[in-house]
Amino acid sequence: MSEEKRVLVTGAAGYIGSGVCRKLLSEGFSVIGMDSLMYGATGLLPLLVMPRFEFVRLDIRDHSQFQQQLDRIRPFAVVHLAAIVGDPACKKMPEAARQTNLDATKALFGVALENKTSRFIFASTCSNYGLSDSMALLSEDNALNPLSLYAETKVEAERWLIDNSATLETYILRFGTAHGLSARMRFDLTVNEFAQAIAMGSPFDVYDSETWRPYCHVNDFSDLICHICADKKIRAGVNVFNVGSDEENYRKIDLINTIAQATSRTARFTDIGRGADRRNYRVSFAKVAAELRFKPRYGVAYSARQISEALGLDLFPFHGGRYANV
């Protein structure tokens, strides 16, 4: 396998990372996955049985360790997904959140630059838009308005990458909220949480039911990252993209109705009015569609049916925090 085809993925055991590695492997890349395994290693199971996959357990905050690894691996591309993800996890571990999401991102990018890595792909989030007064679709040029430590770390990391990316082809991907099945399952994500409750017939609370956000399937993120790694076209400097589709902006109340309808179930929820999370924004995905020809294949209804089927097969037998980040 030539060096051009070697991709390093941080956060490889995570909800999104495990699928990204699988997709890259299936498209012929050699993949070196890195992760500290904060949430266990179940995400690695489908990967360890595949050829051309290597796993390195490390904490990306350990600069000298990942420098050694990058010197050895010399990847064509770095896909940087490792992070303390979500508002609750960052609130619980503020120091680790700053060190991982911001400091380690800068250091990792610096080492990639020294190593002459060709592409650096950074997972950011549409949460960076925070709260929008108007219901117009927000583009990559709109102002960011982070409302949590999680979004603050992502916005700061983005700004730093923008200031330092002159010589490394860099992609900042602002993902919508992910959903769908993954080998490292998360039921603390809105679609998955609602789909689980509706499938199980369990009552659940909904706050700020009229607020908007964009959603996107995990497999679609994998497809896009793989497309960027494989693309012959070079886009020098920094490239910022919202990742999702215009049609998949939903109010929470619409999500619930879509999930219930897709699975022919009744949603037993209580609308509890205003919550602490003030995020409310609708996002435009015109740029990623036009420049990277990205058209997501799986919507919320598809995920709802997938999750309902998986729960029916008792694929997630553990309770408590096993399938969440806090």
Ligand X SMILES: NC(=O)c1ccc[n+]([C@@H]2O[C@H](COP(=O)([O-])OP(=O)(O)OC[C@H]3O[C@@H](n4cnc5c(N)ncnc54)[C@H](O)[C@@H]3O)[C@@H](O)[C@H]2O)c1
Residues forming contacts to ligand X in the complex (CB under 6 A) are 11, 13-17, 35-39, 59-61, 81-85, 100, 123, 125, 175, 177-178, 184, 186, 189, 325
Name residues whose C-beta falls within 8 Å of residue 7's C-beta, 6 or more positions apart in sequence.
Answer: 24, 29, 30, 31, 32, 75, 76, 77, 78, 79, 229
CA nearest 107: which of 172, 160, 159, 32? 160
How many CB atoms neighbour CB 256 within 10 A? Answer: 23
Q: How far is the CB of 75 from ligand X (least distance, A)?
A: 16
Name residues whose C-beta falls within 8 Å of residue 211's C-beta, 6 or more positions apart in sequence.
Answer: 251, 252, 279, 280
Q: Which is nearer to ligand X, 176 or 263 (CB)?
A: 176
Q: How far is the CB of 99 from ligand X (least distance, A)?
A: 7
Q: Which is nearer to ligand X, 30 or 69 (CB)?
A: 69
| Chain mean position to CA 143 | 21
Q: Which is nearer to ligand X, 165 or 190 (CB)?
A: 190
Q: How far is the CB of 216 from ligand X (least distance, A)?
A: 8
Q: Which is nearer to ligand X, 22 or 186 (CB)?
A: 186
Measured from each CB, the residue nearest to ligand X is 14
Decide if 61 contacts 86 (C-beta within 8 A): no
Q: Which is nearer to ligand X, 17 or 296 (CB)?
A: 17
Q: Report the DSSP beta bridge partners of residue 138.
A: 283
Q: Which is nearer to ligand X, 40 or 203 (CB)?
A: 40
Q: Which is nearer to ligand X, 244 or 258 (CB)?
A: 244
How many CB atoms neighbour CB 93 within 10 A? Answer: 17
Q: How far is the CB of 264 from ligand X (least distance, A)?
A: 26
Q: How far is the CB of 201 from ligand X (least distance, A)?
A: 25
Q: How far is the CB of 76 from ligand X (least distance, A)?
A: 20
What totals of helices (H) and strands (E) does the chain contain, helices first?
Answer: 12, 12
Token pair listed for 193: 């949480």
Q: How far is the CB of 15 from ligand X (least distance, A)?
A: 3
Q: Which is nearer to ligand X, 57 or 268 (CB)?
A: 57
Phi first, then psi: give them for residue 171, nearest 5 degrees. -120, 125
Q: How far is the CB of 244 from ligand X (least distance, A)?
A: 10
Q: How far is the CB of 215 from ligand X (least distance, A)?
A: 8
CA dihedral sign of residues 95, 100, 104, 105: negative
Decide if 97 contacts 89 (C-beta within 8 A): yes
CA distance 22 to 158: 26
How many CB atoms neighbour CB 122 within 10 A? Answer: 24
Decide if 27 contacts 226 (C-beta within 8 A): yes
The stretches of 115-212 forming alpha helices (DSSP H) are 149-164, 190-200
Q: Which is nearer to ligand X, 6 or 186 (CB)?
A: 186
